Amino acid sequence: MNSSIHFSRRRFLGSLPILAGRFPLLAAGPGKLFPGCQTNAWKIDRHDFSTFLSVIEQIKSFQFSGFETGFANVQEQFGNSAARRQIEALGLRFTGIHIFLPAYDPQTNIAPASIYQRVAEGGAGLGAERLILSGGPVAANGKLDDSALHRKTQAIMEAAKFAQSRGLHLAYHNETPESLNDGLELRALLHETDPSLVSFLLDAGHADQAGIHVPAFLREYSQRIVGMHLRDYRDGQQVPLGQGTFNLTGLAKTVEETGWSGWVISEEDYPSGFKPGSAAIKVARESIRQAFHV
């Protein structure tokens, strides 16, 4: 890792007052948790906005506080003020609009600027609080490509600056390849991005499957993490949260001990493409309630 751009602990700690101002959840008080839900548990017709609104109504019925969605589900409503009013009328916080692509810009390993700028503007217009980015890996065989890492971190920070100019915060979301080797690349992204610009949405399920001890990781990086995607696996297959081997109890204990504040988000996003809908979300919501008491 390039030590010349490595953030020191002193610099990181000095940034915390700035972080509290830019990321309100960090100033929400110890242990303030918000239950959220990703919409990708349901099949949504991207050309029929009523199907999206119906999903948000279902999420609300499970007593979640907010929702996150992929940009493709709402991009046809960008610039539509009536659509924003319909979303807001449902009374849930629009926690984030997520960009996940089958392939990324080969130079930056994130979405091209033309995409993230359009999504940030459109998402802000619909009331989203965050632009959430996924990306491609810059590590292979347990080694980081320092040049690719530098390009990727710089691109993430440029995206964060653009999002900020549109009133959004930026959170980076880890995929499984970035979580391998005890989070080699994920840790690099944490250390080499500016804490005042970039926060992280930790996919705890991906991290766990890659071998990261998630409670310890949260303890180490709690000030950078604004939310966690929660998912569960058994025998290599995803199952509803609470029915697999994910150490939800251990994570909840760490949350309590650290006083971490943020979003605990159900993500029933099955690799097979199966959409389990409300049946899986009902189970996941109860698991979140029992573990975190929210």
The 10s digit of each residue's pLDDT in 79-130 is 999 999 999 999 999 999 999 999 999 999 999 999 999 999 999 999 999 9
Whole-structure pTM value: 0.89
Tokens coding 114 = 């033309």
7 pLDDT more than 80: no
Kindly report, residue by residue over 209-239, the tens digit of the pLDDT.
999 999 999 999 999 999 999 999 999 899 9
3-state secondary structure of 218: helix
284 pLDDT more than 50: yes
What pLDDT, on the 0 to 100 scale, is given for residue 30?
Answer: 57
3-state secondary structure of 280: helix
148 Cβ contact list (under 8 Å, min separation 6): 109, 138
214: left (phi over 0), alpha (psi -120 to 50) or beta: alpha
CATH label of the domain that carries residue 111: 3.20.20.150
Q: How far is CA 41 from the centre of its chain?
A: 15
Cα(185)–Cα(192) distance, rounded to whole angstroms?
10
Residue with the larger pLDDT of the pair 28 and 145: 145
Q: How many domains does the chain have?
A: 1
What pLDDT, on the 0 to 100 scale, is given for residue 271?
Answer: 83
154 pLDDT more than 60: yes
Handedness of CA 162, 166, 172, 175 (dihedral sign): negative
Q: How far is CA 66 from the centre of its chain?
A: 13
What pLDDT, on the 0 to 100 scale, is given for residue 10?
Answer: 36
Backbone angles phi, psi at 221, to 5 degrees: -120, 25
Q: Residue 145's domain spans which residues?
A: 3-292
Kindly report, residue by residue over 160-204, the tens digit of the pLDDT.
999 999 999 999 999 999 999 999 999 999 999 999 999 999 999
Cα(265)–Cα(237) distance, rounded to whole angstroms?
19
